[in-house]
Amino acid sequence: MAPMKTIFALASGVGRAGMAVYRLSGPAAGRTLVDLTGRPLPEPRRACRRRLCDAAGDVLDDGLVLWFPAPRSFTGEDVVELHLHGGRAIARALTEALLAAGLEPAEPGEFSRRAFMAGKLDLTQAEAIADLVDAETTAQRRQALRQLEGSLSGLYDDWRERLLRCQAHLEAEIDFSDEDLPDGLGEAARTALAALGEEIGRHLADGRRGERLREGLSVAILGAPNVGKSSLLNRIAGREAAIVSSIAGTTRDIIEVNLDLSGYPVTLADTAGLRDAAEAIEEEGVRRAKARAEIADLRLVVFDAAALPALDPVSLALVDGRSLIVVNKSDLASVTLPERIEGYPVLAVSAENGDGVDGLLAALGEKASELLDGSGAPVISRARHRRALEETETALRRALEASSAELAAEDIRLAGRELGRITGRIDVEEMLDVIFREFCIGK
Ligand code: GDP
Ligand code: ZN
């Protein structure tokens, strides 16, 4: 194997800032720190103030340095952290000095990748770091933190361990039964596998809460042209995000606004009016609006108070359990507003003067919490995990129906490999460990 390169990167944000943190990882990290400071390595894991100079003796900056010798570091390698002043000139000079010393700029995610390779993190935890950095709301932050702390690792490792044990038992039976092989699965293995399959099934039936939370809940504002969808979005966003016009059909594209509703991430999308478009370009907008309505987690179906008691039939057809019914232009209503439409409560608002918008946001926040809050049990946070879990479940079901012990063992092996893919723990050695530990084969 080629000697491990020593990498470096600016770990904090880019540009003008009070401080900038640089991270170095690899075998040359310690030597580089000695060269930069002209002093011996500081005590491990203690911040020390040092002046940093390049090879020509030119002072780069004065800051704090930290030394994390392997293996007690983020990557498991020798790591150095430099806490310097922010600023492009320092960044440039330091980068030049590090390149001159033979270090290489890190690839995206390379520190976490090295941490994974060193067994410091599994894949769900590495993904959680990315999610934590991207988290925009409280609920997203909490989910990422729980995952980083190993909520999913623990669950999937436990399941995999149970699978490996079943597999080991079964393979021992196959290898060591005298003449005739046992038919299919033994009773104990069958019970254990069926229970595991049920647990995985329950975990899969989480209403996609974790994935929705990661991605943000998607809410589409739907309704006939001119009911005030764009005005409502603008009112909610508190800024002029969409074109507001009194000429029907001018909101042709979809405009999105990201909201933080008491900790829940919500993406609100304005759509073109739902009606039979006269122009081709409008037709495209209507098509997109309908597509958006299909994929939305929630729909705000907007009606015009000024048009009451008439209700647009195309919009009415979209009302279902995923919808909140909004009657806009309450300031113009000449008749009493209905309390319910299609059996659902009506939220009266005026995008014009802001009446009822707080109530609408509260109702939306409540819906978001219904969809995103769970029992606190770990939830699937990525499609990648879901796919692997579905494969696991399928393989388990096949194992339970297998006609011979060999076929069952093969399916259990596949199930275990799929689970191992999620955390990145796919290791034959481990399988052997289980066999040897439990059965003392070939002592
Ligand atoms: P959209 O086609 O559904 O997006 O409707 P717009 O937001 O473009 O609004 C259409 C027209 O209705 C514009 O002239 C708005 O100023 C007006 N409008 C929107 N909301 C209200 C409201 O709450 N009250 C009143 N009086 N007019 C509104
Ligand atoms: Zn509009």
Residues 79 and 165 in one domain: no
Rounded to the nearest whole angstrom, what is the distance from the C-alpha of residue 247 to the centroid of ligand 1?
10
Q: Tokens 């969809």 correspond to what residue? A: 371
The closest-lying atom of ligand 1 relative to the alpha carbon of residue 224 is: 3
Q: 204 in a domain, yes or no?
A: no
Which atom of ligand 1 is closest in space to residue 234's alpha carbon? 7
Q: Pick the closest to residue 271 from 319, 321, 310, 232 (CA basis).
A: 232
Residue numbers of the domain that contains 273: 213-372
Helix axes 405-423, 151-176, angle to 10 degrees: 160
For the Cβ of 230 lying below 6 angstroms from any atom of ligand 1, the answer is: yes
User: For residue 44, what is the domain's CATH number?
Assistant: 3.30.1360.120
Q: Is the CB of 423 under 6 A from ligand 1?
A: no
Examine the fold and report which residue of 372, 399, 419 is the final residue of a domain before the chain moves on. Answer: 372
The pLDDT score that the predictor gives to residue 182 is 52
- Shared-domain flag, residues 21 and 96: yes
User: Is there a domain that residue 333 lies in?
Assistant: yes
| pLDDT the model gives residue 427 | 61
Task: Let me know whether 366 and 399 are in one domain.
Answer: no
For residue 436, the Cα-to-chain-centroid distance in whole angstroms is 38
Residues facing residue 9 across a β-bridge:
23
Atom 9 in ligand 1: residue holding the nearest Cα: 228
DSSP state of 180: S
Whether residues 64 and 92 fall in one domain: yes
Domain co-membership, 259 together with 366: yes
Predicted complex: ipTM over 0.90: yes
Number of domains composing the chain: 3
Non-local (6+) Cβ contacts of 317 within 8 A are: none
Give yes or no for residue 356 CB within 6 A of ligand 1: no
Does residue 404 contact residue 184 with C-beta atoms inside 8 Å? yes
Give me the amino acid identity at 307: A
Which of 221, 222, 226 is the pocket-test mutation for ligand 1 (most atoms within 8 Å of CB)? 226
Residue 129: which residues within 8 A CB-CB, separation 6 or more?
Answer: 112, 121, 144, 148
Nearest ligand to the C-alpha atom of residue 225: 1
In whole angstroms, what is the distance from residue 39 CA to residue 22 CA? 19
Is 399 part of any domain?
yes
Residue 205, domain member (yes or no): no
- Asked if 361 and 233 touch (Cβ cutoff 8 Å), the reply is no
pLDDT of 258: 85
Last residue of a domain, one of 85, 120, 155: 120
How is residue 367 written in tokens?
């819906």
Answer whether the bond into residue 27 is a cis peptide, omega within 30°. Answer: no
pLDDT score of 375: 75
Q: Whose CA is nearest to atom 6 of ligand 1?
A: 228
**Domain check: are 109 and 14 in the same one?**
yes
What's 355's domain CATH number?
3.40.50.300
HSE-up (13 A, CA, CB side) for residue 255: 20
Rg (alpha carbons) of the chain, rounded to whole number: 30
Tell me, using a 6 A CB cutoff, whether residue 273 lines ligand 1: yes
Is 245 close to ligand 1, i.e. is its CB under 6 Å away? yes
Neighbours of 371 (CB within 10 A): 18
Q: Could you tell me if 175 and 221 lie in one domain?
A: no
Which candidate, 275, 269, 271, places its Cα nearest to that of 298? Answer: 269
Q: Verify that 221 and 105 share a domain, yes or no.
A: no
Are 363 and 269 in a shared domain? yes
| Ligand 1, atom nearest to 231 Cα | 7
In a domain, 132, yes or no: no
Each residue's pLDDT, cut to its tens digit, for the chain (443 residues) gives 456 899 999 998 777 788 999 999 999 999 999 999 999 999 999 999 999 999 999 999 999 999 999 999 999 999 999 999 998 899 999 999 999 999 999 988 889 989 998 999 999 999 999 899 889 899 999 999 999 999 999 999 999 999 988 888 888 777 766 555 455 567 788 899 999 999 999 999 988 999 999 988 999 999 988 999 989 998 888 765 555 555 555 555 557 888 888 888 988 888 776 665 555 556 676 777 778 778 899 999 999 999 888 898 888 988 988 899 999 999 998 788 889 998 999 999 999 999 999 999 999 999 998 888 877 788 999 999 999 999 999 999 999 998 888 889 999 999 999 999 899 876 655 554 554 444 433 33
By C-alpha distance, which of 301, 353, 350 is closest to 323?
301
Identify whether 419 is part of a domain.
Answer: yes
Distance 231 CA to ligand 1 centre (A): 6
Instruction: Answer yes or no: do 306 and 423 share one domain.
Output: no
Atom nearest to 250 CA in ligand 1: 2
In a domain, 194, yes or no: no
Determine the number of helices (DSSP H) and then strands (DSSP E) in the chain. 15, 13
In 3-state terms, what secondary structure has residue 195? helix
Residue appearing with tokens 């040092």:
50
Q: Is the CB of 229 under 6 A from ligand 1?
A: yes
Same domain, 74 and 178: no
* Beta pairing, strands 264-270 & 323-328: unpaired
58 shares a domain with 14: yes
| Residue finishing a domain among 88, 120, 152 | 120
| Residue 199 domain flag | no
- Residue 266: partners with Cβ closer than 8 Å, 6 or more residues away: 216, 217, 218, 219, 258, 259, 260, 364, 368
Residue pair 181/405 in contact (Cβ under 8 Å)? The answer is yes
